[in-house]
Structure 1
């Protein structure tokens, strides 16, 4: 079956990024733990879906997304100095730690601690893969029409359409 909007797609992928001229594998989805998503529901990068649009069950694929089409260019401005008081009552995070944050509008996001100053914690708010070209390789395992419930919820309920509660 061909991938179309309102279809649930299950696929494997290996995601590579350029690491000083060498490609390194940063993420994978396997046959045992595939990536399953509702195609066209806006959960995936638009260009990721666009590159899959001509594929069907059983197809292998390989494509690259520019930084612009993936997580955007690295933004030097997206580095914040958070006052140490924000961490009162908790330990100050270590350099390299990824911490959950919330802006004044209640939007949640993550930042990576890049350095710790006397009065503050410097956090990089860029996506960890900002500025990187992404290289995907994988196989389309399954394509099926979404169920009415999945369409109502706006997301896939697993490879077979059943929602499993842990």
Structure 2
């Protein structure tokens, strides 16, 4: 039986960057379970699993445009300092959770804090990076 769109699958995986550093893995945890074709994982990851059989292992490199997208300067912006708590200086370099007026929540890395503004980067931390995954298909339902 081969994995196809609509199947619920369980996989073990390890994701690495070009320098070999591991950014995520399911090893030591429960396998990742999701429905193929549902958009729950990045497109390139889903594509890699299509057609795999239970017990099959493969290594794939997913280009950034099929993963978390290209890094975009347009996702860096400045907000007025008074919009933030007074201890924002302590968060420099950290990723914080923000909300917009529509109630959407997103993550932003604080790049710079001045007396007037806070410069933030809302790109995904893995944007612009090619990702390599070692994948093992454990189960198909």
Q: TM-score, normalised by structure 2?
A: 0.90
The aligned length equals 140
Q: C-alpha offsets along residues 108-137 of structure 1, whole Å, 9 cap, x if unaligned? A: 211111111112211101110011001001
**Structure having the larger proportion of residues in helix:** 2
Rate the CA distance shift 1:94–1:105 in 2: closer, same or farther, 3 A. Answer: same
Equivalent residues in 2 for 1:36-75 (5 A)? 36-75=33-72
Rate the CA distance shift 1:108–1:73 in 2: closer, same or farther, 3 A. Answer: same
Distance 1:83 1:29 in 2: 40
Give 1:28 deviation, angstroms. Answer: 0.5
Listed as ranges, the gaps of 5+ residues in structure 1 are: 145-166
For the residue of structure 1 that corresponds to 2:52, the secondary structure is: coil
Distance 1:140 1:82 in 2: 45
Q: TM-score, normalised by structure 1?
A: 0.77
* Residues 78-87 or 8-17, more deviating: 78-87
Contact in 2 for aligned 1:12/1:34 (Cα 8 Å): yes
Distance 1:118 1:132 in 2: 33
Listed as ranges, the gaps of 5+ residues in structure 2 are: none
Distance 2:63 2:100 in 1: 28
